[in-house]
Amino acid sequence: MTSTDGRRVGVAAVLPAKDEAERIAATVAAVRGIPGVDLVVVVDDGSSDATAELAREAGAEVARHARNRGKAAAMTTGAAHVARHEAVEHGADASLPSRPLLFVDGDLEDSASNVAALVPPVLEGRADMTIATLPPQKTPGGGRGFVVRLARKGIADLTGFEAVQPLSGMRCITREAFEAATPLARGWGVEVGLTVDVLLAGLRVEEVPCELHHRVSGSDWRGQLHRARQYRDVALALARRRARRGLR
């Protein structure tokens, strides 16, 4: 694929994953088939199963955390791995462009091929970050939308951007935009923090419909605990960004 200046540009896919042995191989295979993707990095975030081994067998490069450090840390590790790969690949030629980063959840299996729609707006210079919007999932979740509403309102209050799916983790982003959002917001606030920081840097964000399906949190105590942590992290990410702007 080519950038706006006509140079050939590959895309680096980064897949944060924890205990995804059942799904990671299919997800990696699907992502490797996306036009333009020439590097796939799976960040094994402290898995207790064979996620890393199966990802490597499926054709991904693997970076590992000895213990679980959370999604934001996994995304940062993946981006750093890509940068090191490019430093070796480019050598002394500093004029070569950095790959856009395509962040993909590790549990999408075959449907991961559909994140391909996120890439063209970034490579063509129409957006600095694209965000996938998902259809209704095959298995309904057990939440009541509290976290989504908090995230959507917080993003709109800070930036004026009306996000359809503010918590979507599937994104394609230029290196410039990623650096503008670094350090990333902690934990489950990472997506909201990314959106706010990229927009406040004066960069462009576009939501793109993608036919993706992943596991959803149920209504049992584990699902409720997950949503409580999400709410906490999103609220913290928004509070810190309001504080930076002198808002309450």
Q: Is the pLDDT of residue 5 over 60?
A: no
Per-residue model confidence (pLDDT) at position 90: 76
Structure tokens at 214: 């992943």
Q: What pLDDT shows up at residue 127?
A: 98
Question: For residue 3, is pLDDT > 70?
Answer: no
**Chain segment 50-90, per-residue pLDDT in tens:** 999 999 999 999 999 999 999 999 999 999 999 999 998 87
Provide CATH code, domain 11-137+157-214. Answer: 3.90.550.10
**Inter-residue contact 115 to 173 (CB < 8 Å):** no
Q: How many residues can be counted in the chain?
A: 248
Given the DSSP bridges, would you call strands 101-103 and 171-173 parallel, antiparallel or unpaired? antiparallel
| Top-confidence residue, 91 or 18 | 18
- C-alpha distances (whole Å) from 55 to each of 15, 21, 47, 60 are 10, 8, 12, 6
State mean pLDDT over 175-191. 95
pLDDT for position 223: 63
Kindly list the domain boundaries of the chain, sorted by start residue.
Answer: 11-137+157-214
Answer left, alpha or beta for residue 121, where phi above 0 means left and psi between -120 and 50 means alpha: alpha
Of the candidates 36, 34, 22, 171, the one whose C-alpha atom is nearest the C-alpha of residue 111 is: 34
Each residue's pLDDT tens digit, 112-169: 999 999 999 999 999 999 999 988 756 555 456 899 999 999 999 999 999 999 999 9
